[in-house]
Amino acid sequence: MHRSSIAPQHPAAFAGIIGVAQRDITPPVGIFARNWGAAKHDVASGVHRPLMLVCTTFRATACGEPLVLIGADLGWWKSAQDERTLREGILQALGLDASRLMFCLSHTHAGPGTFSEDAGKPGGEYILPFLQHVQAMAIEAAQEALASAVPATLSWAYGHCSLAVNRDLPEPGGNRYVVGFNPSETADDTLLAGRITDREGRVTGTIVNYACHPTTLAWDNELISPDYVGAMRETVETATGAPCLFLQGASGELSPREQYSGDTQLADRYGRQLGHAVLSALDGLLPAGKALIYQGAVESGAPLGIWREGDHAPSGCLQAQMAVISMPLKDLPALAEIEALWAACEDHVRKERLWRQRGIRKSLGDGTHADMPLWVWKLGGAFLAGQPNEAYSAFQTELRAQLAPAAVAVINIVNGYAGYLPPAGHYQRDSYAVWQTPFRGGGLELLTRTALDISHQLNAPA
């Protein structure tokens, strides 16, 4: 094989104007924080680790319109209006089109309440001021990131971490699936790590995309916590000296092996496990602007193929598209019916489920379909696909397979929330994801097709 016929090997990368900023968004102790039906407490009694918000901005040129990517250590949205109010305030303050902002939640289950209608519950008086604080910190961080942005390169590397396992467990002796470690099923353990370096080679930020439910800490935990994400971030930031933005992947059926604990040391151990896997992936990256180039063969005891680092110019392509997918809904009870059932219910666990169902129905309306948004960004040699729901991992594995060699970051709980998106073949199961979701079977497959169609459009030659 001739030297010229072997393509240089380089990481998926984007070169442009990149800014990074970070803010602490830890809520006050005493805020309403009952996230589990089995919990016996209503309010947070302390803080395990601070909750953080990290913003990264991207421009093709110094005068170009930015893309703004925000990751926040928060759980999920119970109200479309609460999410819309927060996001629209950010868009207005930054003068952005809706297609150019992704506000991504880490999905911690040990965070504060974010539902303004819980104001009447113990500690509920802190919720609205907290949401206003998060919005202010997001705007402040984005403005700082834009103002301090410099020419930089974002390079991506895939890695693996065994933290995530399958959590759809067939219950012995029955037909029900429980939400717990299923050792008989393999899990998608892929992580995607991004490294941002300036022209001097200094690391100014990192991005971690990994799919695993932050459900280590559950009903026995009374502390505000980012769950495993906190120790992961500390591990990576200590090593790199730069802010780390976490993006929750398509983790619908993925979680840690041991979970539902009150032990914060377990969450920290998981975080360090993921953090070291991230650092391993980052250490495997070539320097920014470099590729491995085949030099030819040297005849020795064997013919030795020689690869050496050479210059490579990363792509400066930056594109964004937002689509709206009409998702068919199940035959759900109307809002008024759910509210009547909730008012008459005396069982706390059942009442909590009805309260969540009420929030979903109120967000989606009483129609037969719901409009679900999808964001697809192309950053040089990578794609970012974000959507509001809890997609199963088939979403990300299919996108990676179809869009290779591009790096693909798939993000759950972006700019909203409604429910799970399990594969169509799971809808005959008696499982939480199936009865929780408001969507009919086929939603995950529709989302995947739409994301692929958009990605191929953005990838097409101009």
DSSP 393-433: THHHHHHHHHHTTSEEEEESSBS----EE--GGGTTSB-HH
Lowest-pLDDT range of 115-129, 326-340, 445-459: 326-340
CA nearest neighbour of 374 among 440, 438, 451: 451
- Average pLDDT, whole number, for the chain? 95
Measured in residues, the chain has a length of 462
For the beta carbon of residue 239, count every other beta carbon within 10 angstroms.
17
Q: HSE (CB half, 13 Å, CA atoms) of 407? A: 25
Work out the pLDDT band at 3, boundaries 50, 70, 90: low
Work out the pLDDT band at 346, boundaries 50, 70, 90: confident
CA 55, CA 138: separation in Å to the nearest integer? 7
Q: Is the per-residue pLDDT at 14 higher than 70?
A: yes
pLDDT tens-place string over residues 267-313: 999 999 999 999 999 999 999 999 999 999 999 999 999 999 999 99
DSSP line for 233-292: HHHHHHHHSS-EEEEE-S-TTEE-SS-SBS-HHHHHHHHHHHHHHHHHHHHTSPPTTEEE
C-beta separation of 439 from 367 below 8 A: no
Overall average pLDDT of the 37-54 stretch: 96
Q: Is the per-residue pLDDT at 2 higher than 60?
A: no
275 Cβ neighbours under 8 A, 6+ residues apart: 231, 232, 233, 234, 235, 236
C-beta separation of 394 from 425 below 8 A: no
Work out the pLDDT band at 4, boundaries 50, 70, 90: low
The DSSP code for 9 is: B
Pairing of strands 420-421, 190-198: unpaired
CA 390, CA 394: separation in Å to the nearest integer? 12
Work out the pLDDT band at 336, boundaries 50, 70, 90: confident
Q: End-to-end CA distance of the chain, in Å?
A: 32
Give the three-state DSSP class for 28: coil
Q: H or E element: which one contains 449?
A: helix 443-459
Work out the pLDDT band at 462, boundaries 50, 70, 90: low
Overall average pLDDT of the 90-116 stretch: 98
> What is the model's pLDDT at position 1?
46
Which region, left, alpha or beta, applies to residue 380 given φ > 0 means left and ψ of -120 to 50 means alpha? Answer: left
Give me the amino acid identity at 68: V
- Compute CA distances 91 → 88, 139, 380, 432, whole Å: 5, 9, 24, 35
Give the three-state DSSP class for 364: helix
Rounded to 5°, the CA angle 149-154-157 comes to 155
Q: What are the domain boundaries of the chain?
A: 6-289
Q: Is the per-residue pLDDT at 66 higher than 90?
A: yes
Work out the pLDDT band at 363, boundaries 50, 70, 90: confident
Q: Is the per-residue pLDDT at 356 higher than 80?
A: no
